[in-house]
Amino acid sequence: MTVADWLAKAEKFLDEREVPEARASAEFLMGEVLGVGRAGAAARGYQDLSEKQGHRFWRWVKERGRRLPLAYILGWQPFLGLRIEVTRDGLIPRPETEELVLECVRLVEASRAPAPKIVEIGTGTGCIAIALAQLIPSATVFATDVSDQALALAQKNAVALHSHQRIRFVREDLFSGRPGLRGWADLLVSNPPYIPTGDLDDLEPEVLMEPRLALDGGKDGLVAVRAIVAAAPKMLKPGGFLALEIESRQGPALSKLLHSSGFQGVLIKQDASGRDRIAVGRLAEDA
């Protein structure tokens, strides 16, 4: 069978199982089997697949048919041009989180700190910490998570991407009330679990295969957010920045929370489709 035959068969199989964007999934998987990427696979319709390649492709298509996310099948996800290894121990990095990282770069530039110190809470795969270490070569990053498995994955990614010497990964529970670093950070960033518990069951099957710990934000989705905002003034230097990824309905609540917690210049930023996505505040200089 040719690549085109396999792709048509896979598309039909995935469509029957109501997998969204069946053709794209099939092409991504074929691209990985052939080592040529999605576009390369689509352009090689005439080519025959070896028995081994066909076997591998169909095993992956069946996994996708069970709604396993593409990134977990491929074992990686692109993030700001970096190849981030993913397993079921970590949330799959999202495009909106790329926006959070780019906002952090702007904030660090605005802080004019010569050797910026950054804390990330809830590092997961390490994508934010690693991207920031790469985009800001003078920065030192301290990244925490409560999951040992996620921290091991993050450390592995940092080593693979040659960033491990500037990032310290530490197991820390954000609810412990004992932030490890006091008055150290120019920037505190987090993409915390922020989905209200009651909304979890309505998510796509793919999302439900990601760690619940990475998603569940408690009754109103803001349980972790409130703990981070409460800890932030202790961890930040006066004038330091806090940047959080938020759920699209949480903008007004975050604006209020940041103002009442001693932050100034509070901004709620929208994504390309106009939904609230990032909350930013600056700790007062005399805090």
Ligand X SMILES: C[S@@+](CC[C@H](N)C(=O)[O-])C[C@H]1O[C@@H](n2cnc3c(N)ncnc32)[C@H](O)[C@@H]1O
**Selected range binding ligand X among 62-70, 111-119, 144-152, 199-207, rule: CB under 6 A:** 144-152
Angle between helices 3-16 and 22-34 (to 10 degrees): 140
Per-residue binder mask for ligand X (CB under 6 A), 58-97, x = binder: ---------------------------------x-x---x
**Selected range binding ligand X among 6-14, 138-146, 178-186, 229-237, rule: CB under 6 A:** 138-146
Binding-site member from 25, 123, 157, 250 for ligand X (CB under 6 A): 123
Query: Cα(102)–Cα(87) distance, rounded to whole angstroms?
Result: 25
For ligand X, the closer CB: 27 or 99: 99
For ligand X, the closer CB: 61 or 104: 104
Query: Cα(158)–Cα(231) distance, rounded to whole angstroms?
Result: 26
Q: CB under 8 Å to 138, separation ≥6 — which residues? A: 114, 115, 116
For ligand X, the closer CB: 22 or 187: 187
Residue 163 near ligand X by CB under 6 A: no
Binders in 191-210 for ligand X, by CB under 6 A: 191-193
Residue 147 near ligand X by CB under 6 A: yes
For ligand X, the closer CB: 31 or 217: 217
Binding-site member from 5, 173, 204, 271 for ligand X (CB under 6 A): 173
Residue 127 near ligand X by CB under 6 A: yes
**Smallest gap from residue 227 Cβ to ligand X (A):** 8
**Smallest gap from residue 209 Cβ to ligand X (A):** 14
For ligand X, the closer CB: 71 or 73: 71
Sites of contact with ligand X (CB under 6 A): 91, 93, 97, 122-125, 127-128, 144-147, 150, 173-175, 191-193, 213-214
